[in-house]
Amino acid sequence: HAVDSKVGEVLLYYCYCEVKDPEKLCAWQKALCQHLHLTGKVRVASEGINGTVGGSKVATKLYIEVMLSQPLFKDILCQEDFKSSAGGSQCFPDLRVGVFKEIVPMGIDPKIVSYKETGIHLSPQEFHREVEQYLSQASQGQSDTILLDCRNFYESKIGHFQGCLAPDIRKFSYFPSYVDENLELFKDKRVLMYCTGGIRCERGSAYLRSKAVCREVYQLKGGIHKYLEEFPDGFYRGKLFVFDDRYAICSNEDIISACRYCGTLWDQYKLCSSQHCRQLVLTCPSCRSKGLTACCPVCQEKELQVTSRASGQTLKEECECTRRRPRVPIEDVSRRTLDAGKD
């Protein structure tokens, strides 16, 4: 049965548009995915739709055709808007389709900061040229540009653009506060923003623009995903983090991150072994074999306690990692200029 065949792909896409009846769109979307045996996550809101789904190549091809012919998206969504990577339905535990306030959780009412106020979209080629120029200027210590990674720290840790500023934040909903706390940093700057598939930049750039401090705000159209299709050996180094059971996809052999315990080069995430914790940890095979499988000593200890206790209690994300990290980091503006040229 071709729709169920194991060799498949994972699609990532979003579409901002006015949805009069999100509940209805949600029900239609759920039925469509079930019919095609697709798994994954789809967020529907009055501002549009955002999905990542996996299935056989036959199924994903049909899915794209149906999506492109849906009257709601007909003139907005195009073939190019679907980013695909090798995978399949096995990349997700199940199918989740739901109605939300925002199609990407930034935590700011879409009525207040709208996707319609977004930055200037740059194609992968244009973005590549901008980054090239930025890196050569930064190496001479004279750049008026910030290359901003809009993703979370665990995403940028295993792969990012050279010379980028990658905020040490755990969730995209902390991004607005990050901007607020670091306004001085963005003053009179040209900002080049990027994220995985482009969607976080749509709202992130709109938020940054609403502060009226930057000279210009640009964003990478189609995100890192589309950039890597054109420039697998470009200025993006390392792996691309994805929110499914694969954790990362790679376009080059670079490893830019290290094992949390011994420091050897390692970039394959596993969930912290402590039951209550949902954090990801980089721990290499040799450290794992020594039992170093938690995200931090506190969790490692807890794991031992929890195993010997009834599992009725859930202790969530209260470990050293979470406690040690400020929710919203404040960047040192004077230091930034010196570091820009470095990777």
Residues known to be catalytic: 195
DSSP codes of every residue in 243-263: SSTT-EE-SS-----B-TTT-
**What is the spatial distance between Cα 82 and Cα 10, in angstroms, rounded to a whole number?**
10
Which pairs count as long-range contacts for 179-185, CB under 8 Å and 24+ apart, including other chains? 179/207, 179/208, 179/211, 180/211, 181/328, 181/329, 181/330, 182/330, 182/331, 183/211, 183/213, 184/333, 185/146, 185/331, 185/333, 185/336
- DSSP class of residue 265 equals B
Beta carbons of 152 and 171 less than 8 angstroms apart = yes
CB atoms closer than 10 angstroms to residue 232? 11
